[in-house]
């Protein structure tokens, strides 16, 4: 046997053992479907498994079972096949899901390949766009969008996939070995196929649900990606918006060795069914967050963003519309596109100081703060009747504040904050200051004015209730950029 082929032979043997269920000591259940595998192989190939299995390695001699519901079985199959063969079967339909899962499992090799795959898609889309603008309408209609392109080429791990060589019958991207020499590229027939694939995939729903069910800090760190189901025009753009768990731009998927992998309570998502000590798992962050571009950066660096002439206005002035390069959405104003891009970058620059939940827009944060933390609505939360300072009081429940009328209050028998004081706070009173502990956000507390003088220094400008802190997600440390006074 040739020494140089030894490693591939070994991998082949392991794969064979997996297929025959020989020495498999780990069951991975993905949405009910069971995959058998070897812990040592999983350990060696995935940062996620490494972390989890290293915890259990001391005590666990018996079978380990893991349950995932954040991606689909088909997706995991692609990844597991890669682990045991070095070959990654990517298509325009599954690349988003695979990258999402790889991100979850911390498999940087897979992410890199997905990145390259997506980059190729975008590059080719860009070329198609250029061609589109350089050709007449007639040419485009006869040659354009429906043509499917099949590319196949090899390149080094760090280089971009070339697009110049035509392959014959490639329906999937196969990656083999460290040099990715077997990488073949399949061009989706339409440039937004990636999004469509993501939309189709149920795995996204799982992610979505887990996020929605998660606590606030969880939601705050995982961009709240909600693939929309609606089928109307506006829904298309929303539905095709795969911003959440997987980055969209080249910059975002960049996983350089110095990438900021953030481990922490806020970012973790633990598979439900791990048989190992759940507390151990919960004590550590299992999902990394890679550095992402902000919408601003993306917008600034974006090449001549697809200004699309959307027909002619009544004054014979061309109506420009701006198309999002990542989905089918078009907007009339560039500024709106910038705002829209944020939903692809997953950027949430406005964290709520009270609960840590983050928002894409200041107005959303304000609205959230008013309704959740300021008891902004003058209605009884129980009986929905209008309450005044005479007929009701403010109730504090964790970081939530709401109003109850005196009758409901008597029934509930909870502590209250006098409405007068509440309203004074809103006007001129001492600020409502949220004081996150340096390391443990969960212990963060609210401090209400003088009544609860704390060890935390109050903000000097007492006119503010809501401390607005715009955060640059690209920084590890939350950096206070801006403190604005008052949100009334």
Partner DNA sequence: CTGGGGACGGGGCCC
Partner DNA sequence: CGGGCCCCGTCCCCA
Q: Which of 331, 456, 458, 459 binds DNA (CB under 7 A)?
A: 331
Question: Does 486 participate in binding DNA (rule CB under 7 A)?
Answer: no
The answer to the question of residue 401 lying near DNA (CB under 7 A) is no
Q: How far is the CB of 466 from DNA (least distance, A)?
A: 11
The single residue among 143, 159, 202, 230 that binds DNA, judged by CB under 7 A, is: 230
Give the residue, chosen from 208, 245, 289, 403, that forms a contact with DNA under the rule CB under 7 A. 208
Stretch that binds DNA, among 54-62, 222-230, 304-312, 459-467 (CB under 7 A): 222-230
Q: Cα separation of 303 and 426, whole Å?
A: 45
Q: How far apart are CB 386 and DNA at their closest, in Å?
A: 12
The DSSP bridge partners found for residue 393 are 404
Tell me if 192 contacts DNA by CB under 7 A: no
Which of 7, 147, 361, 481: binder of DNA (CB under 7 A)?
A: 361
Query: 371-400: which residues touch DNA (CB under 7 A)?
Result: 371-372, 377, 379, 384
481 belongs to the binding site for DNA (CB under 7 A): no
Contact flag: residue 302 with DNA (CB under 7 A) = no
When asked if residue 329 is in the footprint of DNA (CB under 7 A), the reply is yes
How far is 150 from 284, CA to CA, in rounded Å? 43
Smaller CB distance to DNA: residue 105 or 354? Answer: 354
CB 472 within 8 A of CB 481: yes
Nearer to DNA, 66 or 237 (CB): 237
Contacts of 185 (CB under 8 A, 6+ apart): 117, 120, 150, 151, 152, 153, 161, 163, 167, 170, 173
Distance of closest approach, residue 328 Cβ to DNA, in angstroms? 10
Q: In whole angstroms, what is the distance from residue 213 CA to residue 244 CA?
A: 15
- Rounded least distance, CB 107 to DNA, Å: 26
By CB under 7 A, is residue 473 in contact with DNA?
A: no
- Shortest gap between Cβ of 196 and DNA (angstroms)? 16
Site for DNA in 444-463 (CB under 7 A): none
Q: Which residue from 88, 95, 237, 255 is in contact with DNA, where contact means CB under 7 A?
A: 237
Cβ pair 255, 271 in contact under 8 A: no
Closest separation in Å from C-beta 318 to DNA: 16
Contacts of 287 (CB under 8 A, 6+ apart): 48, 103, 104, 106, 222, 267, 268, 269
Minimum distance of DNA from residue 435's CB (angstroms): 20
Kindly state the smallest distance separating residue 324's Cβ from DNA, in Å: 7
Among 36, 357, 403, 447, binds DNA (CB under 7 A): 357
Hey, what are 248's tokens? 């969209």
Let me know how long the chain is.
488
* Segment interacting with DNA, rule: CB under 7 A, options 57-65, 72-80, 188-196, 226-234: 226-234
Among 115, 342, 403, 447, binds DNA (CB under 7 A): 342
Shortest reach from residue 371's CB to DNA, in Å: 4
Positions in the binding site for DNA (CB under 7 A): 208-209, 212-213, 224-230, 232, 234-235, 237-238, 241, 243, 329-336, 338-340, 342-343, 357, 359-364, 367-368, 371-372, 377, 379, 384
């Amino acid at each position: 046997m040739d020494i140089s082929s030894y490693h591939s032979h070994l991998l082949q043997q392991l794969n064979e053992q997996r297929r025959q269920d020989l020495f498999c000591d780990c069951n991975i259940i993905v949405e009910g479907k069971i995959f058998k595998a070897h812990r040592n192989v999983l350990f060696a190939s995935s940062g996620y498994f490494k972390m989890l299995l290293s915890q259990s390695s001391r005590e666990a001699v018996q079978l380990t079972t893991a349950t995932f519901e954040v991606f689909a079985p088909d997706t995991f199959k692609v990844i597991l096949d890669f682990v045991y063969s070095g070959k990654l079967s990517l298509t325009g339909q599954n690349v988003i899901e695979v990258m999402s899962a790889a991100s979850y499992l911390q498999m940087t090799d897979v992410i890199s390949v997905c990145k390259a795959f997506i980059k190729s898609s975008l590059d080719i889309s860009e070329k198609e766009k250029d061609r589109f603008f350089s050709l007449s309408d007639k040419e485009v209609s006869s040659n354009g969008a429906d043509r499917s392109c099949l590319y196949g080429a090899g390149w080094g791990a760090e280089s971009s996939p070339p697009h110049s060589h035509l392959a014959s019958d490639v329906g999937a991207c196969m990656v083999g070995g460290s040099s990715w020499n077997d990488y073949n590229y399949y061009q989706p027939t339409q440039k937004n196929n990636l999004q469509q694939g993501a939309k189709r995939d149920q795995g996204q729903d799982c992610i979505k649900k887990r996020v929605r069910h998660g606590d606030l800090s969880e939601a705050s760190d995982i961009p709240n990606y909600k693939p929309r189901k609606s089928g109307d025009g506006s829904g298309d753009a929303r539905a095709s918006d795969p911003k959440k768990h997987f980055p969209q731009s080249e910059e975002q998927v960049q996983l350089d060795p110095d990438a900021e992998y953030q481990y922490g309570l806020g970012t973790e998502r633990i598979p439900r069914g791990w048989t190992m000590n759940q507390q151990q798992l919960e004590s550590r962050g299992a999902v990394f967050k890679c550095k992402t571009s902000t919408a601003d950066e993306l917008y600034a660096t974006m090449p001549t963003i697809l200004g699309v002439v959307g027909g002619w206005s009544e004054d014979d002035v061309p109506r420009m519309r701006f198309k999002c390069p990542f989905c089918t959405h078009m907007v009339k104003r560039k500024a709106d596109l910038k705002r829209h891009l944020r939903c692809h970058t997953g950027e949430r620059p406005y964290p709520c100081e009270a609960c840590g939940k983050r928002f894409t827009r200041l107005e959303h944060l304000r609205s959230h703060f008013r309704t959740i933390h300021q008891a902004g609505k003058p209605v009884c939360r129980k009986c929905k009747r209008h309450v005044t300072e005479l007929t009701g009081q403010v109730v504090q429940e964790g970081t939530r504040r709401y109003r109850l009328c005196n009758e409901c209050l008597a029934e509930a028998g909870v502590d209250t904050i006098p409405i007068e004081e509440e309203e004074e706070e809103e006007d001129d009173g001492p600020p409502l200051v949220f004081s996150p502990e340096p390391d443990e956000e969960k212990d963060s507390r609210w401090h209400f004015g003088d009544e609860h003088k704390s060890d935390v220094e109050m903000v000097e400008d007492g006119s503010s209730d809501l401390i607005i802190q715009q955060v640059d997600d690209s920084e590890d440390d939350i950096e206070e950029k801006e403190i604005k006074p008052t949100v009334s």
